Amino acid sequence: MTLDIGGNFRHELTGCFSQGSNSNPTVAMVEASYRVNKMHYRYINCEVNPDQLQDAVAGAKAMNWKGFHCSIPHKVSVIKYLDQLGESAKVIGAVNCVVNRNGKLIGENTDGKGFLQSFYEIADPKGKTIVLLGAGGAARAIAVELALAGAVKFYIVNRGSQRGIELKELLNSKTDSTAEFISWNETYVIPSDADVLINSTSLGMIGEPVDQDIDYSSIGPGLIVADVIINPLNTAFLLKAAARGATTIQGIGMVVNQAVIAIQEWSGVDVNPVDLTNELMKALQI
């Protein structure tokens, strides 16, 4: 029996399905935003093994979750359990955010969208030539969103050839941009026609050397240099680029913006990214 006492005792549910879920700080910033905006929502980190993913997705749908993030190792395997994919997720071939739209689970990819939003604060990607260091999941999402936003040329620079070539072929076949792969087996010189340099690798993280990887003398004023790393905020990579006169973009904007986009998709509420940024910095102690 339930008693009608004028209250709402049910929260709208969101969260993240992943392995290693205890290390995901997204919950801290999303829950903080829900509180600040007085939203009757919750965000739950869920430990989901690969053989449990189908049941987890079905459970979220049955319980009318508003949506959920998918993190490692589920970003590709979740696709077969969804009803539909958004445009960029279809091109990227990976999903990091699922949205419940009228009972149908739609797979989106907000990583690249989060980066794109940070980029727009500095410049318009239309007509730009991009150097992309790395070819993993973050690189794919960023490259596709920049291509869809009008970037015309990509240099894909990666240690291993397989993923680099795959990303090159994806951009050439599924977007209007052109791309070439460059094997990163020596100190890399930034080409003179580059407008943007993006690091999507561990280059510049605490303890990671940077001097032997990039010829920083090839960076100059006018180049936009971005990083996906969030700790430290100003990586050695960004600091060295800034010293050469480049305009830099920190990685924290991508992380915060993708969460802001997810909240909007799940709830229809436009939240202030400052609240999420402050809470994330507190959680990471930076």
The answer to whether 106 and 266 have CB atoms below 8 angstroms apart is no
The C-alpha atoms of residue 129 and residue 155 are separated, in whole angstroms, by: 8
The answer to whether 82 and 57 have CB atoms below 8 angstroms apart is yes
pLDDT band at 36 (very low <50, low <70, confident <90, very high): very high
Give CATH superfamily name and number for 113-250: NAD(P)-binding Rossmann-like Domain (3.40.50.720)
| Whole-number pLDDT of residue 208 | 57
**Adjacent-strand bridge partners of 13:** 42
Alpha-carbon dihedral sign for residues 147, 153, 155, 160: positive
> Taking phi first (over 0 means left), then psi (-120 to 50 degrees means alpha), and beta for anything else, what does residue 64 get?
left
| Whole-number pLDDT of residue 22 | 87
| Whole-number pLDDT of residue 231 | 85
The answer to whether 199 and 227 have CB atoms below 8 angstroms apart is yes
* Residue 5 pLDDT > 50: no
pLDDT > 90: what percent of the chain? 84
* Residue 285 pLDDT > 90: no
As a whole number, mean pLDDT of residues 219-241 equals: 93
The C-alpha atoms of residue 148 and residue 177 are separated, in whole angstroms, by: 8
As a whole number, mean pLDDT of residues 58-87 equals: 96
Q: Which of 15, 12, 13 is nearest to 44 (CA)?
A: 15
Task: Summarize pLDDT for 73-131 with one digit per residue, the tens.
Answer: 999 999 999 999 999 999 999 999 999 999 999 999 999 999 999 999 999 999 999 99
| Whole-number pLDDT of residue 116 | 97
Higher pLDDT: 37 or 206? It is 37
| Whole-number pLDDT of residue 4 | 45
- Fold entry, domain 12-109+253-284: Rossmann fold (3.40.50)
Catalytic residue among 66, 75, 128, 168: 75
The answer to whether 70 and 95 have CB atoms below 8 angstroms apart is yes
As a whole number, mean pLDDT of residues 205-216 equals: 69
Q: What is the mean pLDDT of the chain?
A: 93
The C-alpha atoms of residue 258 and residue 261 are separated, in whole angstroms, by: 5
| Whole-number pLDDT of residue 182 | 97
As a whole number, mean pLDDT of residues 224-230 equals: 95
What ranges in the chain are assigned the alpha helix state H? 26-36, 53-62, 87-92, 111-120, 137-148, 161-174, 236-243, 252-267, 273-284
The C-alpha atoms of residue 96 and residue 113 are separated, in whole angstroms, by: 11
* Residue 6 pLDDT > 80: no
pLDDT band at 168 (very low <50, low <70, confident <90, very high): very high
pLDDT > 70: what percent of the chain? 94
**Least confident span in 30-44, 196-210, 228-242:** 196-210
| Whole-number pLDDT of residue 281 | 92
pLDDT band at 2 (very low <50, low <70, confident <90, very high): very low
- Known catalytic residue at 75: yes
Can you give the residue ranges of every domain in the chain?
12-109+253-284, 113-250
Domains 12-109+253-284 and 113-250 alike in fold: yes
